Amino acid sequence: MNVYIFNPENDLALGIDCLNYTPSPHAAALHRDGELFPAWWASEEDYIVAPHADDADRRWLRDNYGLVTADGFNPDECTPQPWGWSRNAAYLLRHAGVGDKCLPAEEQLTLYRRLSHRHTASALLDLIGYSGEMPVVTSDVEDAMAAISRLGSGFVKSPWSGSGRGVFNSAGLAQAPLRRRIEGIIHRQGNVIIEKPLAKILDFAVLYSAGEEGVRFHGLSVFEAEARGMYAGNLAAPQAYLRERITTLAGDDALDCTVTQVAAGLNELLAGRYYGPLGVDMMVCTADDGTPAIMPCIEINLRRTMGFVAMDVAARLGIEEPRRLTWHRGPLPAGAVALLRPGKEFTPVLL
Model confidence at 165, pLDDT cuts 50, 70, 90, reads: confident
Mean per-residue pLDDT over the chain, rounded: 97
Same domain flag for 252 and 190: no
CB 223 within 8 A of CB 307: yes
What is residue 129's predicted lDDT score, i.e. its pLDDT? Answer: 97
Structural domain harbouring 70 = 2-116
Query: Does residue 163 surpass a pLDDT of 80?
Result: no
Query: Which residue intervals of 96-167 are DSSP H helices?
Result: 106-116, 119-127, 141-151
Structural domain total, the chain? 3
Output the pTM of the full model. Answer: 0.96
DSSP code of residue 321: S
The dihedral formed by the CA atoms of 341, 343, 345 and 348, expressed in degrees to the nearest 10 = 30
List for the chain the helix, strand, coil content (%; round to 5): 40, 25, 35
| Cα–Cα distance list, 61 to 54, 56, 236, 241, 280 (Å) | 11, 9, 19, 27, 30
Query: Does residue 227 surpass a pLDDT of 90?
Result: no
Model confidence at 194, pLDDT cuts 50, 70, 90, reads: very high
Same domain flag for 211 and 172: no
CA 100 to chain centre: 26
CB 69 within 8 A of CB 50: no
Model confidence at 130, pLDDT cuts 50, 70, 90, reads: very high
What is residue 166's predicted lDDT score, i.e. its pLDDT? Answer: 87
Query: Which residue intervals of 72-140 are DSSP H helices?
Result: 87-95, 106-116, 119-127
Query: Does residue 164 surpass a pLDDT of 70?
Result: no
- Whether 123 is covered by a domain: the verdict is no
Q: Where among 173, 195, 217 does a domain terminate?
A: 195
Model confidence at 230, pLDDT cuts 50, 70, 90, reads: confident
Same domain flag for 152 and 206: no
Same domain flag for 289 and 310: yes
Sign of CA dihedral 188, 108, 299, 21: negative
Query: Does residue 82 surpass a pLDDT of 70?
Result: yes
Instruction: Quickly count: other Cβ atoms within 10 Å of residue 152's Cβ.
Output: 10
